């Protein structure tokens, strides 16, 4: 029994994580209150149960909000810095409850991560000449293939391409480029001079690369190129020749492309029309066309098949994108074997400024949309080597292709097998995330001393990505209400002040233990029973405010009763008794900013440790997490 976890499963996990950054739940509930009021009024008008009271409506809304909070897909994520030093007793973090709780207990500051700071990441190496690239094949695991490349233009914009055909496994010697394809449509198929066929996917700006790229991956600009997505269709990606007889079409080697005189160049079906295709008498659409051959190609002046209708069921191909493939319905070879007369069906026919080929017909099964039209390409020896397309069709989920043999091969037992490769669901370029199996997600933030919530001094030794943390309101010390906005960033340090200090005392530096045994209201009963609660913290930063003649002491690693905080009163600093004034609200809470992280809240998804990083005012640290599913 074979079990396979597809790339879709991995991408789906990535999509779910990315989607949770978007925060769509608020959109679900935003119009609920007005809709509820409208329905309530309808109840009253129709004498059902009467209008809902305001408290009833509010209660229903709170119930909905609660259910969305539990079962909704939205989440809030923060990248947090923690731990001013490496704990000598626990120098390395582990995936343990203790390590995670220590990280949460020692949080210093952090930034909220908006969806703009999240990117899907993908592999697409720089195109290199001489490389044999894999082409797209719906029978292969494309997530393991080397079929995506990028080039960088003069403006440092990166363009990403997908290989659809690799010229039968040849080396790529000409880079793909953003040029029009043969049909005149941009962003469809880019055909290089080396025979490779590429599909343009999207572009990445220089700034995006600078911010998000790694040594091996590039960021995807969601949703991609909207023009490419709009033009995508489920067409025939290519038709592979899995078996054929050599020289099968030796009697169809009419001429090489202009400028090709030697070598086994593919596409040896060029013809020169000696007439403009006059209508046959009595017919409104059947036209006779005279074609001359070039015997020097094969060295045989009479290589054409002499039998009547030998070249029926071939296609007459025109270089004009608006011309169809004209099927040959009758043919006659001249007595001297140097020219050929064919009959085609065409109400209108014009040869001015066009080139023509007489090519094998490929018959493709019908789809629910536009049927694909294809033809064979032969080399100088008359061997079918490739399939060309007049129209790759649309709305294909499955397709079969058959080589139609012309009259002179009607009795042939030669076997030619063709296999249709159908584009992905939605078409090439319609869903780059799925097509490129983007199962990596990068999340970034910047810690800069110029921010009002990121310290410009002190150290930190850990960073982590925390999902759905809670925050405490400064005004009352309670958790923020469900409808309150969590901060975009926060400084989690406590701050106390020393009054009437002329300057920052050299003793008041980092690593100084600050403690107080002042009874706090929330632990009053414990104190009354003779049990004191010791509260301690580490000085992370000391700053003298000369204007107001006070010293600010910023504290981290708070320990003790988490229901208590430093209050106005005496403290012990390095053995000396000092008096602090918290300058806080009446509840005695002392902190920076409007909100403070609620210790131990949220889920740690990823964290890491390192040697202490010292914050400097004019320096910025870029923190990046990459999740690979």
- The angle formed by the CA atoms of residues 69, 74 and 76, to the nearest 5 degrees, is 95
Is the distance from CB of 106 to CB of 139 less than 8 angstroms?
Answer: no
Where do runs of H (alpha helix) occur along 215-289?
226-231
Distances (CA, A) of 544 to 121, 268, 467: 46, 87, 36
Residue with more model confidence, 40 or 106 = 106
Per-residue pLDDT tens for 172-190?
999 998 764 444 455 567 7
Reply yes or no on whether the pLDDT at 582 is more than 70: no
Largest CA distance in the chain: 125
**Poorest-confidence range of 6-10, 179-183, 195-199, 289-293?**
179-183
| Domain presence at residue 403 | yes
Residue 67 phi, psi dihedral angles, 5° rounding? -70, -40
Tell the burial category of 382 from Cβ atoms under 10 Å away from its Cβ (0-12, 13-18, 19+): buried
Residue with more model confidence, 431 or 12 = 431
Is the distance from CB of 72 to CB of 28 less than 8 angstroms?
Answer: yes
pLDDT value, residue 504: 45
Where do runs of H (alpha helix) occur along 263-346?
none
Rounded Cα gap, residues 24 and 74, in angstroms = 6
CA 426 to chain centre: 16
Reply yes or no on whether the pLDDT at 136 is more than 70: yes
pLDDT value, residue 555: 78
Is the distance from CB of 555 to CB of 539 less than 8 angstroms?
Answer: yes
Task: Identify whether residues 189 and 275 lie together within a single domain.
Answer: no
Per-residue pLDDT band at 117 (split at 50, 70, 90): very high
End-to-end CA distance of the chain: 24
Task: Identify whether residues 216 and 360 lie together within a single domain.
Answer: no
Task: Identify whether residues 404 and 496 lie together within a single domain.
Answer: no
Task: Identify whether residues 362 and 336 lie together within a single domain.
Answer: yes
Mean pLDDT for 469-494 is 79
Per-residue pLDDT tens for 309-354?
999 999 999 999 889 999 999 999 888 877 888 898 888 888 888 8
3-state secondary structure 434-479: HHCCCCEEEEEEEEECCCCCCCCCCEEEEEEEEECCCEEECCCCCE
| Domain presence at residue 577 | yes
Reply yes or no on whether the pLDDT at 533 is more than 90: no
- Of 435, 468, 501, which marks where a domain is finished? 435
* Of the ranges 132-141, 443-452, 498-507, the best mean pLDDT one: 132-141
Structure tokens at 141: 């695991």
Mean pLDDT for 386-401 is 94
pLDDT value, residue 99: 93
Domains of the chain: total? 3
| Domain presence at residue 50 | no
| Domain presence at residue 111 | no
| Domain presence at residue 51 | no
pLDDT value, residue 258: 58
Reply yes or no on whether the pLDDT at 10 is more than 70: yes
Which of 222, 346, 354, 362 lies closest to 288 in space, CA to CA?
A: 346
Mean pLDDT for 552-567 is 64
pLDDT value, residue 516: 40
Task: Identify whether residues 162 and 306 lie together within a single domain.
Answer: no
Rounded Cα gap, residues 10 and 143, in angstroms = 11
Q: In 7-76, at which residue ranges do the beta strands (DSSP E only) sit?
A: none
| Domain presence at residue 81 | no
Task: Identify whether residues 373 and 519 lie together within a single domain.
Answer: no
| Domain presence at residue 315 | yes
Task: Identify whether residues 481 and 500 lie together within a single domain.
Answer: yes
Task: Identify whether residues 226 and 368 lie together within a single domain.
Answer: no
Structure tokens at 611: 């040697």
Q: In 8-129, at which residue ranges do the beta strands (DSSP E only) sit?
A: 77-82, 107-112, 118-122
Q: In 131-207, at which residue ranges do the beta strands (DSSP E only) sit?
A: 148-152, 158-166, 190-191, 196-204
Task: Identify whether residues 478 and 548 lie together within a single domain.
Answer: yes
Is the distance from CB of 477 to CB of 150 less than 8 angstroms?
Answer: no
Structure tokens at 20: 């949770």
- Of 406, 435, 464, which marks where a domain is finished? 435
DSSP state letters, 539-558: EEEEEEETTTTEEEEEEEEE
Task: Identify whether residues 295 and 188 lie together within a single domain.
Answer: no
User: Which residue in the block uniquely carries the two structure tokens 């406590």?
Assistant: 494
**Poorest-confidence range of 276-280, 408-412, 484-488, 585-589?**
585-589
**Poorest-confidence range of 163-167, 346-350, 368-372?**
346-350
Q: How does 567-587 read in b/e, with b if 16+ C-beta sit within 10 Å?
A: bbeebebeeeebebebebeee
- Of 381, 411, 435, which marks where a domain is finished? 435
pTM value? 0.79
Reply yes or no on whether the pLDDT at 558 is more than 50: yes
pLDDT value, residue 330: 92
Task: Identify whether residues 462 and 356 lie together within a single domain.
Answer: no
Q: Is 627 helix (H, G, I), strand (E, B) or coil?
A: strand
DSSP state of 371: P
| Domain presence at residue 545 | yes
Distances (CA, A) of 392 to 159, 234, 375, 483: 24, 9, 11, 53
Average confidence score pLDDT of the chain: 79
Task: Identify whether residues 372 and 391 lie together within a single domain.
Answer: yes
Residue 334's CB is within 10 A of a number of other CB atoms, namely 16
Structure tokens at 416: 């030619």
Structural domain range at position 284: 241-422
């Amino acid at each position: 029994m074979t079990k396979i976890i597809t790339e879709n499963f991995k991408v789906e996990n990535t999509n779910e994580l990315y989607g949770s950054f978007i925060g769509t739940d608020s959109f679900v509930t935003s119009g609920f209150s007005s809709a509820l009021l409208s329905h309530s009024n309808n109840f009253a008008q129709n004498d059902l149960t009467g209008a809902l009271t305001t408290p009833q409506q509010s209660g229903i809304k709170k119930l909905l909000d609660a259910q969305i909070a539990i079962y909704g897909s939205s989440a809030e994520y923060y990248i947090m810095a923690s731990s001013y030093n490496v704990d000598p007793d626990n120098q390395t973090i582990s995936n343990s409850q203790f390590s995670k709780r220590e990280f949460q207990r020692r949080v210093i500051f952090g930034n909220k991560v908006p969806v703009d700071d999240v990117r899907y990441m993908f592999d697409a190496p720089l195109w290199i000449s001489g490389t044999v690239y894999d082409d797209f094949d719906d029978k292969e695991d494309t997530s393991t293939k080397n079929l995506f490349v990028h080039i960088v233009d003069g403006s440092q914009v990166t363009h990403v391409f997908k290989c659809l055909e690799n010229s039968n496994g040849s080396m790529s010697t000409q880079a793909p480029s953003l040029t029009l394809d043969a049909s005149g449509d941009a962003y469809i198929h880019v055909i290089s001079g080396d025979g490779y066929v590429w599909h343009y996917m999207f572009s990445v700006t220089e700034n995006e690369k600078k911010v998000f790229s790694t040594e091996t991956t590039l960021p995807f600009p969601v949703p991609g190129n909207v023009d490419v997505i709009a033009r995508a269709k489920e067409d025939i990606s290519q038709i592979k020749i899995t078996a054929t007889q050599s020289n099968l079409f030796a009697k169809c080697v009419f001429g090489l492309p202009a400028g090709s005189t030697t070598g086994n160049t593919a596409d040896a079906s060029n013809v020169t029309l000696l007439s403009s295709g006059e209508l046959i008498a009595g017919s409104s659409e059947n036209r006779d066309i005279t074609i001359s051959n070039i015997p020097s190609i094969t060295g045989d002046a009479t290589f054409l098949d002499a039998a009547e209708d030998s070249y029926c069921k071939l296609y007459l191909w025109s270089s004009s994108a608006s011309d169809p493939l004209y099927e040959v319905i009758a043919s006659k070879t001249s007595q001297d074997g140097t020219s050929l007369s064919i009959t085609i069906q065409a109400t209108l026919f014009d040869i001015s400024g066009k080139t023509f080929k007489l090519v094998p017909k490929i018959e493709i099964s019908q789809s629910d949309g536009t049927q694909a039209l294809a033809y064979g390409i032969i080399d100088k020896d008359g061997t079918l080597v490739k399939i060309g397309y007049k129209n790759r069709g649309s709305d294909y989920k499955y397709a079969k292709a058959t080589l139609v043999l012309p009259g002179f091969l009607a009795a042939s037992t030669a076997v030619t097998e063709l296999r249709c490769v159908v584009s992905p669901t939605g078409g090439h370029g319609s869903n780059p995330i799925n097509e490129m199996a983007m199962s990596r997600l990068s999340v970034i933030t910047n810690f800069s001393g110029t921010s009002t919530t990121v310290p410009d001094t002190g150290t930190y030794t850990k960073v982590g990505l925390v999902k759905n943390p809670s925050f405490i309101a400064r005004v009352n010390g309670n958790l923020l209400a469900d409808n309150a906005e969590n901060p975009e960033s926060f400084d989690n340090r406590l701050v106390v002040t020393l009054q009437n200090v002329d300057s920052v005392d050299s003793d008041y530096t980092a690593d100084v233990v600050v403690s107080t045994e002042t009874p706090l209201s929330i632990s009053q009963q414990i104190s009354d029973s003779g049990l004191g609660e010791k509260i301690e913290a580490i000085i992370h930063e000391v700053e003298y405010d000369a204007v107001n003649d006070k010293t600010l002491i910023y504290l981290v690693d708070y320990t003790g009763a988490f229901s208590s905080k430093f209050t106005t009163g005496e403290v012990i600093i390095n053995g000396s008794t000092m008096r602090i004034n918290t300058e806080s609200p009446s509840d005695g809470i002392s902190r920076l900013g409007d909100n403070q992280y609620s210790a131990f809240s949220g889920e740690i998804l990823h964290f890491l440790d390192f040697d202490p990083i010292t914050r400097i005012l004019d320096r910025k640290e870029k923190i990046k997490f990459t999740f690979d599913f």
